[in-house]
Amino acid sequence: MGLKELGRISPEERTILAQYMSEYPVRIGQLAKDLGVAIRVSSMPTGVSGQISREGDNYVIRVNRNEARERQRFTIGHELAHYLLHRNIIDSSPDGITDTVLYRSGAPERIEFEANRLAAEIVMPMHLIEKELSEKFGGLVTEATIEGLASSFEVSKAAMEIKLSTLVEA
């Protein structure tokens, strides 16, 4: 796990993350639970994908029930990333952080960039992508590769396409 955001996470939480990031599709709901974060699939306004807030001593992620399951999985990853990296921001507002469909929340752009990078790594661990890509697709990124990997990792094709583009540039 070479992502620099991971270096800012406590060793205990990193250990939990590593366990879940060792197989796909990553069991994101169980991961949240193990990190002590509840998930509620909720009615939310159109244009809002998710929210994480503190309720007493607990943290709760809400995801929009009207969005596709693959999308909800990424949103949970995004909100978990806020939990792992930006807990002080969540704590500083009674409503926590609320993300639009573009994963904008009013927090600085850098904050959302970090959350998206970590979310992408959580639901699409690079070492697993590389392994799958070489073993099943001969390292070749085509439309079929994107579709196949998106289906294996239970993420949207758009998310997988972005992930694979970072791989090619690396």
Minimum separation from the CB atom of position 93 to Zn ion (A): 13
33 Cβ contact partners less than 8 Å away, ≥ 6 residues apart: 39
Beta strands in 74-143 (DSSP E): 97-100
28 Cβ contact partners less than 8 Å away, ≥ 6 residues apart: 20, 73, 76, 77, 80, 122, 123
How is residue 164 written in tokens? 């694979």
Minimum separation from the CB atom of position 49 to Zn ion (A): 9
How is residue 89 written in tokens? 């921001």
Nearer Cβ to Zn ion, position 24 or 112? 112
Q: Site mask, Zn ion, residues 76-115, x = CB under 5 A?
A: -----------------------x---x-x------x--x
Nearer Cβ to Zn ion, position 89 or 141? 89
Contact 25, 154 (CB under 8 A): yes
Q: Site mask, Zn ion, residues 3-42, x = CB under 5 A?
A: ----------------------------------------
Interface with Zn ion (CB under 5 A): 99, 103, 105, 112, 115
